[in-house]
A and B are shown apart, each in its own frame.
Chain A
Amino acid sequence: MTSRNFVALRTIWIKECTRFMRIWIQTLLPPAITMSLYFVIFGNLIGSRIGDMGGFSYMEFIVPGLIMMSVITNAYSNVSSSFYSAKFQRNVEEMLVAPVPNWVIIAGFVGGGVARALLIGFIVTLVSLLFVDIHIHSLAIILLTLVLTATLFSTAGLINAIYANSFDDISIIPTFVLTPLTYLGGVFYSLTLLPEFWQWVSKANPIVYMVNGFRYGFLGVSDINLYVSMALLVGFNLILLTLAYSLINRGVGIRS
Chain B
Amino acid sequence: MYALDINGLTKTYKGGTQALQGINLQVKQGDFFALLGPNGAGKSTTIGIISSLVNKTAGDVKIFEYSLASQMEDAKSCIGLVPQEFNFNQFETLWQIMLNQAGYYGVPRNVAKPRAEKYLKQLDLWEKRNSAARTLSGGMKRRLMIARALMHEPRMLILDEPTAGVDIEIRRSMWTFLKEINQQGITIILTTHYLEEAEMLCRNIAIIDKGQIVKNTSMKSLLATLNLETFVLDLSKNISSLTLSGFESRLIDGHTLEVDVPKEVGLNSVFEQLTTQDIQVLSMRNKSNRLEELFVRLVESGRQPEKGNNKHD
Contacts and interface: CB of A to CB of B under 8 A. Distances in A.
B53 A96 contact: yes
Top 6 nearest A-B pairs (CB, nearest first) are A11-B103, A4-B106, A98-B104, A90-B87, A99-B73, A99-B76
Interface in B47-77: 48, 51-55, 72-74, 76-77
A222 to B, nearest CB: 42
A255 B53 contact: yes
Interface stretch (B88-96, B213-221, B253-261, B273-281): B88-96
Interface hub of A15, A85, A101 (most chain B Cβ within 10 A): A15
Contact of A89 (B72, B89, B96, B99): B89
Contacts of A91: 87-89
A98 B88 CA distance: 14
B80 to A, nearest CB: 9
Interface string B85-122: 11111110000100111111111100000000000000
A256 interface: yes
A4 B101 CA distance: 13
A86 interface: yes
Contact of A86 (B76, B83, B89, B106): B89
A98 B77 CA distance: 7
Q: How large is the interface on B (under 10, 10 to 19, 20 to 34, 35 or more residues)?
A: 35 or more
B104 A95 contact: yes
A7 B76 contact: no
A3 interface: yes
A85 to B, nearest CB: 8
Contact of A256 (B54, B81, B89, B99): B54
Nearest to B103: A11
Nearest to A250: B55
Contact of A93 (B45, B87, B90): B87
B13 interface: yes
B157 to A, nearest CB: 12
B87 A18 contact: no
A256 B48 contact: yes
Contacts of A148: none
Interface string A69-91: 00000000000000001100111
23 contacts: A7-B107, A8-B104, A8-B106, A15-B100, A18-B96, A22-B91, A85-B89, A90-B86, A91-B87, A93-B53, A93-B83, A94-B87, A95-B104, A97-B51, A97-B76, A97-B79, A97-B81, A98-B152, A99-B104, A99-B105, A255-B52, A255-B55, A256-B13
B87 A255 contact: no
Contacts of B86: 90
B133 to A, nearest CB: 10
Q: How large is the interface on A (under 10, 10 to 19, 20 to 34, 35 or more residues)?
A: 20 to 34
Contacts of B103: 7-8, 10-12
A94 B105 CA distance: 10
Contact of B90 (A89, A251, A255): A89
Contacts of A98: 76, 101, 104-105, 152
B105 A255 contact: no
A2 B73 CA distance: 12
A5 interface: yes
Nearest to B72: A99
A100 interface: yes
A101 B104 CA distance: 10
Interface in B23-56: 45, 48, 51-55
A98 to B, nearest CB: 4
A5 B106 contact: yes
B106 A99 contact: yes
Nearest to A104: B104
Interface hub of B13, B53, B83, B103 (most chain A Cβ within 10 A): B103
Contact of B88 (A11, A12, A94, A100): A94
